Structure 1
Amino acid sequence: MTKPIRILVPVDQDAEALRIALGYAQKICEKFGPEVQDIVLLVHTKQQLDHTGLSQSLGAGHVKALAKGPISLSGGGRLHAETMKTWRYPPRKSVVVVYYAEPRILDFVDDLNNIAGVVVVPDIPAAADGWVARWGAIIHGQAQQAPPSALIDDPVFVRAIETLSSMINLSTGLGHPRDKAMANEIMRILRTKGHSDQSANIKSWAIRRGWRPDHAADLEALARKIWALRAKPSLSGIHDPEGRYRRWQADS
């Protein structure tokens, strides 16, 4: 499966941001060919299409037309306008232009399937930095970045949470009590063995490995809770913590 192409158009492009973003979206469509002709302009709310700088960039005529359905773009492709409330899963493979991007709407997009590309335009500097680091996104005006880093540079920690990922149902995350208990045990063992807090990166790590963003956020919250404990947690009641830890060391 081809991975989505991910691009950031920095906020400092301002008035030109929409034109640049749509240009990138059309190039992604061209790369995929006839199977990808739909570009979705995604915002938080309908008001952002009607009463913001974005509406001025679109023009009143296009805003009115988009309210009725997709419009054809001069450079190719069909432009749709959607909000987080109205859009769920694209019926056809699409490119998404995310406007006024910040973590919540970017998590929403990361949870979608059938996406050929994502072009992100934040309205606040650094609002999409976590998403860029997560995916190693291309940044407009900058040289191509190296592939994304491992995010977590502790190999034993990584092996432990890889074990968790392989044993739970990723479609439900930590929703099942047994799976949450397993995650809790793993975090407690790692904390007790002196490993540092990885909660700042664990959500992105999990999303990159197939976790849904909301489930990855649950894993992050659990990690924060364990490392916020004043003292190292007790391992009593946990099955074979020493043996499990030795296996993570051996496999890392």
Structure 2
Amino acid sequence: MDIGTLIGILLGFGLIIGSIILGGSLGAFIDVPSILIVVFGTVAVTFIMFPMGTVFGAIKVMLKAFFAKPPDPKAMIKTIIDLANIARRESLVALEKASVEDPFLKKGVLMVADGTEEQTVRSVLEIEIAFMKQRHQMGQEIFKSMGTMAPAFGMIGTLIGLVNMLQSLDDPSSIGPAMAVALLTTFYGAVLANVVFLPIAKKLEHRSAEEVLFMEIAVEGIISILNGENPRITQDKLEAFLAPALREGSDS
């Protein structure tokens, strides 16, 4: 589980709630009509903007921000070097019996073991990366759109509250609730957008970048094995994808 994501969201809401309590009453910031306008309005527009299945799938995508385990490129490089040594000692065909856990790497290794040409191997793997990025971008786009729509519905709620307030100027008792809707919808929209939707979209974008890097390392490693490159040269090439600190601590 990504503790950082959970801590960030809890800390964000905690600071907001804490400042409200220190400055007044928490109850004054709870208004059901405002919540309905912002939350359900944002969800409704999201269903209009995206296919229903994609929206429901966004829940599963969101879980990646909390529970997805970051890929380990150093472990990937070590696996590739082990495979390269097997290919040099025995043959490319011997890779067919090698134990490879990562499905993407295994797919490439099996293609190499079957004698597939370099151009075909690279093409197939890069197509898979491209479509994976496309799927990830769809999930990110949903949360970015929700981050845009939440403040918009906050503004719609503000207009509704102002209209109700102006129609009730002759009744002082109704001005307060109308003003609450006018202000709290903007507040709810801003909080949801900047504490939940947009940060989750950014975290998903970061997760996708990590996975793409991981897969690109796999592609270069597979091609190096196919071309019969020296394992040490292959390792140096693959470690170039990593930050210097990770390279220094990587396994030889």
* Structure number with bigger Rg: 2
Q: Which has the higher helix share?
A: 2
TM-score after normalising by structure 2: 0.24
Q: Which has the higher strand share?
A: 1
Q: Say which structure, 1 or 2, has more relative contact order (CA 8 Å, 6+ apart).
A: 2
TM-score after normalising by structure 1: 0.24
